[in-house]
Structure 1
Amino acid sequence: MSTKSLAVGSSTLALTALLAAPAFAGPTYTSDNGGSFRWYGQLNLAYQGYDDGGEDYNRLVDNGNSGSRVGFWLEQPFGENTLKFRFETSLSLRASDGVNQNDQGDITDWTRSDLRHVDLQWHTPRYGTFSIGQGSMAADGATGIDLSGTGVAANTSVADAAGGYFLRDAGGNLTGIEIGDVFATFDGSRRGRVRYNSPDFAGFTVSASYGEDILTKDADTEQYDIALNYENEDLGDFTVAGALAVSWTDKGGADTRDTIASAAVLHEPTGLSLSAASGDRDTGGNYGYVKLGYTANLISVGATSFSVDYYDGSDLVSVNDSAKSFGVAAVQKFERQNLEAYVAYREYSYDDSSATNYQDGSAILAGARWKF
């Protein structure tokens, strides 16, 4: 049996087992004084196929678009205010953007940098939310506003499907340039930070944060950012959402400023949606991204969504370079099982001003995300 056949067979077997299993969510335990504990998580395993123009590679991976994780919430109300603590860690399974032609990676390799949230939050309806600890900076997610229903399989982070693979030149040699190098988003990050989120004002919220990379040894990285978010689900037949953020980073004396934004609109009667995103780094690099989606209730188990998207970037590795990606995706929800099964195909192309000609690459992801 070929490696590809084994990988596809294993993915199909895993999906069948998940569909047969009953859905369950992490239970919530409450105390007499109103406190609560709730745990949650997700598994998002997939078959990955990658063609670099010279050779094919087939692996079982964790989907880098939304990796497997587990966590819990502790909450305690104090009058109209609530104190919350969140812990969340990646399961650090072999990721779709962490393998390449020379290295298929360890099945799991947890390090402290896989801690996503160790976060204390004070929620107040009048004055907003105050947070301290490891968690999302204000700009985190500002490029990912998406109402298509296919975000688990295809989104602005087009490199997540195969970000670790090296580009191959026309002579068949691997270059030192990875897919992840040339398809950036400049999206916000998670840091050890202090953060403030304002109350909701007619759908608008403002947030700001200051943080440092406390999980990477000798990182010497400081960041601060500000973001404006908007969401309205009641604009007649439309749902609209958007985000705009500016992030400043000082990494060992090298300063950068990233300006990022995304927006999406969904026409609820037809299920048609349009998403767009862009990013610009003051020291070089910019991109634009657009996505058209369609969602319908074709079968009784849950919504079916389709999308097509396009990414166009320049100056991301060197002056006058060009990075383009085209993708299509389909996602089927299974509401009772809290499951989304998906398949996505993506093409990558890159050119620069050097004498090197780079071959196009293509990736396939087929898997399922199960939330519990």
Structure 2
Amino acid sequence: MTRPSAPPMSMLVIALSFCAVAGSAKAADLGGDCCADLEERIAELEATTARKGTRKVKLAISGYVAQEITWWDDGGESNVYLHGLGPTQASHVKLNGEAVIAPGWTAGYMMRIQNLQDNPFGRSGTAALDQNNANFSQGLNLQMSYWYVQSKALGTVSVGKLAPAAKSAAMFTDKSGTQVIDNETFLSGFPQFIVRRGGDLAPASLTWGQLSYCYAQNAPLGGDCDGLVMNAVRYDTPVMAGFSASASWGEDDDWQLAGRYAGEFAGFKVLFGVGYSESTDEGLTVPVASILKKDTSYVQAGGYAEHLASGLFLHGAYGHEDNGGTILAGNVTPPDGEHWYVKAGVRKKWTALGATVLYGDYGRYRDQLGPAALALAITSSELESVGGGVVQELDAASMSLWIKFRQQSADITGAGAIGQLEDLRTVSTGAMINF
């Protein structure tokens, strides 16, 4: 929302002058101070005005609050957890400031503070959210903080902690209204849950995230492997006929290129995104002692098509990570990993409340073996995720309510493939309200 502006000085002067004249004239008994109501209103406006350091920079505040309640069953135990939607999708507040430099030129900044008090994406360890621990808290997190200079003709340069060029190039094409709620990543999919094997939670190092691991970011993301924020410099071209391109460089070292398209034709809404990145920083984003050298590249592509008249839609995403230059302890090179994801459904406004979205989705993650999985002598893996849900939008409150289901299953080969792997089933209901 845009902050309310303070009452103009001219209005205050006129109002106070009127009060002075009326007070001195005392032409009638108005039951007390004739300007009491006016002064009370001015005080109220001043109290609700967002203060800022300069009158030249416009300030807008936005964000959302989102929470889920999840019932899970790992084949040997079931429970119910309350949690957020994981990093980058968590409840947050966003501050945007912008000022005009000259015609066609603006400068601005963006800060995004997210709530990770109940982060379901917590890393492995004794504090992680898993079958043994119902909560993982990282507190408040300054996820993004950067400034930018924008030219309508030349594009935008951004510097600071930001989303790199190819971040979510495939995933963000999903405009069904379910992208935050359900997508190709494991940001809200409990990647640190231990895979129950032969009825036991042993070894504890074999988690679902170790079968959906991304070396570009040293994290069990599943999809969108090079998609976390970082300190970087980014350039975005102007949008021309629906097309745009981006490039970024950050940390030590991660560089990315991306292209995007969004438009409508022949009664369809269409979006497409493609991205390529290379990362050689062993410490990005979580240092892993067993990664001795990193030279990983990642390519992704995704698209979305919606028939506007019927509301039928289809979204797909694909990613491939090349780990040929990455070396782990013991001179082990992790295999290349790949994943693909598809979501289909219908988005239709059947009631005055807002659009209703019915969808089903499927994802497959092949040979995305993390360091802990490789240490168990697992040589190959295939993880499948099947799910779907219903989302009801409430236009009057800028709110979404949902219920969704997901079942994960996996097959592994190698010396570590001992015992039957149990499926993980989850049913989640939640809500998100925007402001």
**TM-score, structure 1 as length reference:** 0.86
User: What residue identity is the alignment partner of 2:108?
Assistant: K
Asked if 1 retains the 8 angstrom alpha-carbon contact of 2:75 and 2:199, the reply is no
Q: Tell me the SS of whatever aligns to 1:251.
A: coil
Q: In structure 1, what is the Cα distance between the partners aligned to 2:138 and 2:2?
A: 25
Among residues 88, 91, 101, which one is paired with 2:112 in the alignment?
88
1:123 matches 2:146 = no
The one-letter amino acid paired with 2:404 is A
State the SS of the aligned residue for 1:44: strand
Q: Name the aligned partner's letter for residue 265 of structure 2.
A: L
SS at match of 1:58: strand
CA contact (8 A) 1:29 1:36 kept: no
1:222 lines up with 2:253 in the alignment: yes
In 1: Cα distance, 2:241 partner to 2:381 partner: 42
After TM superposition, list the pairs within 5 Å mapping 1:261-280 onto structure 2: 261-280=301-320
Q: Deviations over 1:147-177 (max 9, x none)?
A: 2222232111145232221110023234322
CA RMSD of aligned residues (A): 1.9
Going from structure 1 to structure 2, the CA distance change for 1:222 and 1:105 (only over 3 Å counts) comes to farther
Task: Name whichever structure is richer in strand by fraction.
Answer: 1
Aligned counterpart for 1:78 among listed residues 92, 96, 101: 101
Query: CA offset at residue 143 of structure 1?
Result: 2.6
Offset at 1:26?
5.2
Contact 1:131/1:194, CA 8 A, preserved across alignment: yes
The aligned runs of 1:164-313 (5 Å cut-off) are 164-175=192-203, 176-183=205-212, 184-185=222-223, 186-212=225-251, 221-232=252-263, 234-252=264-282, 253-283=293-323, 284-313=336-365
Residue of 137, 160, 169 corresponding to 2:164: 137
The aligned counterpart of 1:321 is 381
CA distance in 2, matches of 1:273, 1:319: 37
**Does structure 2 retain, via aligned residues, the 8 Å contact 1:150–1:306?**
no
Q: Could you tell me whether the CA contact under 8 Å between 2:59 and 2:95 is conserved in 1?
A: yes
User: Would you say 1:363 and 2:426 are equivalent positions?
Assistant: yes
Amino acid at match of 2:273: A
Does the 8 Å CA contact 2:167/2:226 hold for their aligned counterparts? yes
1:335: Cα distance to partner? Answer: 0.8
Moved more, 200-209 or 267-276: 200-209
Question: What secondary structure, in the 3-state scheme, does the structure 1 residue paired with 2:188 have?
Answer: helix
Give unmatched runs, 5+ long, in structure 1: 1-24, 213-220
Q: Following the alignment from structure 1 to structure 2, what is the Cα–Cα distance between the partners of residues 146 and 154?
A: 10
The answer to which of 65-74 and 285-294 deviates more is 65-74
Instruction: Tell me the distance in 2 between the aligned counterparts of 1:257 and 1:94.
Output: 31
Structure 2 unaligned blocks of 5 or more: 7-51, 123-128, 213-221, 283-292, 324-335, 370-377
**1:222 aligned partner, one-letter code:** D
Q: Distance in 1 between matches of 2:74 and 2:149?
A: 48
Matching residue's letter, 2:361: D
Distance 2:266 2:186 in 1: 32
Alpha carbons of structure 1 residues 109 and 316: separation in structure 2 relative to 1, 3 Å:
closer
Q: What residue in structure 2 maps to residue 46 of structure 1?
A: 68
How far off is 1:270 after superposition?
0.5
Aligned to 2:396, what secondary structure does the other structure show?
helix
1:331 to 391, 402, 406: 391
Residue aligned with 1:166, SS: coil
Q: Deviations over 1:177-225 (max 9, x none)?
A: 222332311142211000000111221111000111xxxxxxxx52111
**Equivalent-residue separation in structure 1 for 2:246 and 2:206 (angstroms):** 35
Q: CA deviation at 1:296?
A: 1.0
Taking structure 2 as the reference length, what is the TM-score of the superposition? 0.74
In the TM superposition, residue 29 of structure 1 has moved relative to its aligned partner by 4.5
Please give the secondary structure, in 1, of the residue aligned with 2:195.
Answer: strand
Q: 1:89-130, CA deviations, whole angstroms, 9 ceiling, x for partnerless residues?
A: 111121233321122224x4326xx32211101111110000
State the secondary structure of the residue aligned to 2:206: strand
Deviations 1:59-82 (A, max 9, x none): 111122821111211110112211
> Given that residues 208 and 227 in structure 1 are in contact (C-alpha distance below 8 angstroms), is that contact kept between their aligned partners in structure 2?
yes
Secondary structure (helix, strand or coil) at the match of 2:357 reads: strand
Contact 1:142 1:187 (8 Å CA) reproduced: no
Other-structure match for 1:110: 139
Q: CA deviation at 1:363?
A: 1.2
Partner of 2:15: none
Quote the Cα distance in structure 1 between the aligned partners of 2:61 and 2:109: 12
